[in-house]
Amino acid sequence: MNWISNVVRPKIRNFLARRDTPENMWIKCPESGQLVFYKDVEANQFVIPVSDYHMRIGAETRLRMLFDGGEYEDVALPEVATDPLRFRDQRRYADRLKDARTKTGLQDAIKVATGTLEGLPVTAAVQDFDFMGGSLGMAAGEAVIAGLETAVKNETPFIMFAASGGARMQEGILSLMQLPRTTVAVQMLREIKQPYIVVLTNPTTGGVTASYAMLGDVHIAEPGALIGFAGPRVIEQTIREKLPEGFQRAEYLRDHGMVDMVVHRHELRGVIASLCRVLTKAPAADKTLTQLIANLPAPAEA
Amino acid sequence: MRTYLDFEKPVAELEAKVEELRAMQSGENPVAIEEDISRLETKAAVALRDLYSSLTPWQKTQVARHPQRPHCLDYVAGLITDFVSLQGDRKFGDDDAVVGGFGRFRGASVCVIGQEKGSTTEGRLKHNFGMAKPEGYRKAVRLMEMADRFSIPVIALVDTAGAYPGIGAEERGQAEAIARSTDACLNLSVPNVAVILGEGGSGGAIAIATASRVLMLEHAIYSVISPEGAASILWHDSTKAQEAATNMKITAEDLAKYNIIDQIITEPIGGAHRNPPAAIVSTGEAIANALAEFDGLSPAAIRQQRRQKFLAIGRNIG
């Protein structure tokens, strides 16, 4: 290893990997199997037309979709110790981290930004599933804390887009400690009486749901998102039964009282904006929350 | 009958021999073998001490799960007087995996919340092997809020493989219940002391172990996932549990280095299951000392200390 392989190569790989998907590419809907033109999906906020399947989206795209004019300012995130346990499974954790950084262009799984949403200053954090399954380790924990602290300092609402397979096992107990740590930060936001809105995206499970993702004032879920504590495979293995249809999906959680609403990505921005305005007693923007809610699909019959 | 773990075989053999000789001695034709017996006993004791002074993380995992290891209710019986067990989360039901109530610890009122694994087949089924459902965590929240209202400190006895993964548990919001319980711990204006008695299994443990002071028994383990779980997820091979146990740093000694726990409670030689009363006495001593550190502190200072303690975790690792 030398500086060329350490510095230059990842940068080149970074450049190559991050090149936009070719515009003429077709992609397959994971749900219906239909083939769709990538450009059409992109223009549709990464929702597959017809099937309405909500694709996973990266942190930057998500932030651009949220903030006015797609403009936001990154919040600097604290540096944390890399690979504190010197962990190695089939591969070294340090190598896995390096690969994830190259693949996503992110330092770790969570990105935090500030900007305005329909004119209202807000702070938002996005968990990127492409970065090691959005797993919660020390860096992601510090990012959530930094995000909430920024919201406290600027006295703004905090919007959390969660997506995660759970704790980052390669950081062992230090990843588990992010559950109470992030909860401390949620409490700080509560104390200054600013709203905390969680958007649960596909998938959000494990330690993330067992902490900050289930402690919001309002829980919104994207359609079809898998949300739960234990993963479906673990449950199936434990109880040795097939799981019911729709189990742990966004709509199931709404029907069982764990999320307030399931919102189509097209409506998401408007719903969040209205909620933030109403909860902070800011004057109404042009659209009202009542109208938006009226447009939502009716809840399933119990 | 004592249950021996696989790695205790050399000790088991020696102790079996001692038993054999004793039987001969007390039989119909007693023979003068007192000297042999005491020689063997010493040998067995030395072997046991040596073995337990250098247990591997995987061996500790087995000790932590030893069926004869004292469990939550043993500690309650040994340390708490006037204990009144309270049931139910007032929302859905009760959960016997989480035992909770109020009583006296060295004369002073305390709230006790703990996970009970059960010590007999019947008990294990009743307590669901210590794997709590949402009701258990919601009962814990209810009791913590009550303790806070009456300014009564909380003792949390942690011993669980993890929160129960099942359809009903998910349906009723297992994740939310755990998150709220951690939240409730952090809201307490009274000190809470958590003791990891055996297994501190992930979210199921942290839900009650987010404490002003976290103590851990010498051979207990505390981890984000069971060694078996990590092996199957990270190695795609459940037989790699030993390796996972080592790499994850789950022993009290390791966790003290990372400042995850505040104190290690020394176990009797050969583990808590060899001498439960002694383990319970040392644990009581450690809890009393930990609680005493908060004497005279204001509610705000108590909350602040707990928050700062958790925020500081991981920040000084180079």
pLDDT at A21: 56
pLDDT (tens digit, 9 = 90+) per residue, B229-259? 999 888 888 889 999 999 999 999 999 999 9
Tell me if B247 and A181 make a contact (CB, 8 A cut-off). no
By C-alpha distance, the chain A residue nearest B236 is A90
Does position B40 have pLDDT exceeding 80, yes or no? yes
pLDDT at A19: 47
- B99-121 mean pLDDT: 97
Alpha helices, H only, B2-133 = 9-25, 34-53, 57-64, 72-79, 121-126
Q: What is the DSSP string of A72-87?
A: -EEPP-----SSTT--
* Chain B residues close to A89, C-beta within 8 Å: 230, 234-235, 244, 247
pLDDT at A2: 47
Does position A9 have pLDDT exceeding 60, yes or no? no
By C-alpha distance, the chain B residue nearest A167 is B224
Burial (CB < 10 A; 0-12, 13-18, 19+), residue B41, is middle
- Residue reference for tokens 């588990």: A176
Angstrom distance (rounded) from CA A99 to CA A301: 45
* Chain B residues close to A247, C-beta within 8 Å: 167, 170
- A63-77 mean pLDDT: 97
- Per the CB < 8 A criterion, the answer to whether B154 and B113 are in contact is yes
pLDDT at B36: 86
Q: At A6, is the pLDDT very low, low, confident or very high (cuts 50, 70, 90)?
A: very low
Q: At B29, is the pLDDT very low, low, confident or very high (cuts 50, 70, 90)?
A: low
pLDDT (tens digit, 9 = 90+) per residue, A180-221? 999 999 999 999 999 999 999 999 999 999 999 999 999 999
Angstrom distance (rounded) from CA B101 to CA A285: 51
Interface test with A, best of B224, B242, B248, B262 (most A CBs within 10 A): B224
Tell me if A210 and B179 make a contact (CB, 8 A cut-off). yes
Tell me if A234 and B317 make a contact (CB, 8 A cut-off). no
Strand partners, A112: A125
- A227-243 mean pLDDT: 88
Quote the minimal CA–CA distance from B146 to chain A in Å.
19
Q: At A8, is the pLDDT very low, low, confident or very high (cuts 50, 70, 90)?
A: very low
Classify domain A57-294 by CATH number: 3.90.226.10
pLDDT (tens digit, 9 = 90+) per residue, A172-186? 999 999 999 999 999
Does position A295 have pLDDT exceeding 80, yes or no? no
Does position A135 have pLDDT exceeding 90, yes or no? yes
Quote the minimal CA–CA distance from B191 to chain A in Å.
16
pLDDT at A289: 59
- Greater model confidence, A2 or B135: B135
Q: Which stretch of A10-24, A194-208, B93-107, B244-258 has the lowest confidence by average pLDDT?
A: A10-24
* Residue B75 CA: distances (Å) to CA of A15, B71, B87: 59, 7, 19
pLDDT at B26: 76
Its pTM stands at 0.92
Number of continuous H segments (helices) and E segments (strands) in chain A? 12, 10
pLDDT (tens digit, 9 = 90+) per residue, B294-306? 999 999 999 999 9
- B73-83 mean pLDDT: 98
- A98-124 mean pLDDT: 96
Does position B104 have pLDDT exceeding 70, yes or no? yes
pLDDT at A297: 63
Q: Which stretch of A160-174, A233-247, B64-78 has the lowest confidence by average pLDDT?
A: A233-247
By C-alpha distance, the chain A residue nearest B246 is A87
- Residue reference for tokens 């970074």: A14
Considering only CA atoms, which of A99, A100, A120 is closest in space to residue A108?
A100
By C-alpha distance, the chain A residue nearest B166 is A235
Q: At A16, is the pLDDT very low, low, confident or very high (cuts 50, 70, 90)?
A: very low
pLDDT at A4: 47
Interface test with B, best of A176, A248, A252 (most B CBs within 10 A): A176
pLDDT at A90: 87
- Greater model confidence, A300 or B286: B286
CB nearest to A214's CB, from B175, B202, B210: B175
- The 8-class DSSP code of residue A221 comes to E
What is the ipTM score, two decimals?
A: 0.95
- Per the CB < 8 A criterion, the answer to whether B75 and B202 are in contact is no
Alpha helices, H only, chain A = 3, 9-17, 38-43, 59-66, 93-104, 138-154, 172-176, 178-191, 232-239, 250-255, 265-279, 289-294
pLDDT at A234: 86
Mean confidence (pLDDT) of chain A: 89
pLDDT (tens digit, 9 = 90+) per residue, B191-216? 999 999 999 999 999 999 999 999 99
Does position A18 have pLDDT exceeding 80, yes or no? no
Tell me if A207 and B224 make a contact (CB, 8 A cut-off). yes
Does position B92 have pLDDT exceeding 50, yes or no? yes
- A67-76 mean pLDDT: 97
Quote the minimal CA–CA distance from B276 to chain A in Å.
27
- A250-272 mean pLDDT: 97
By C-alpha distance, the chain A residue nearest B210 is A180
Does position A302 have pLDDT exceeding 90, yes or no? no
% of chain B exceeding 70 in pLDDT:
98
Tell me if B179 and A183 make a contact (CB, 8 A cut-off). yes
pLDDT at B62: 97
Structural domain spans, chain A: 25-55, 57-294
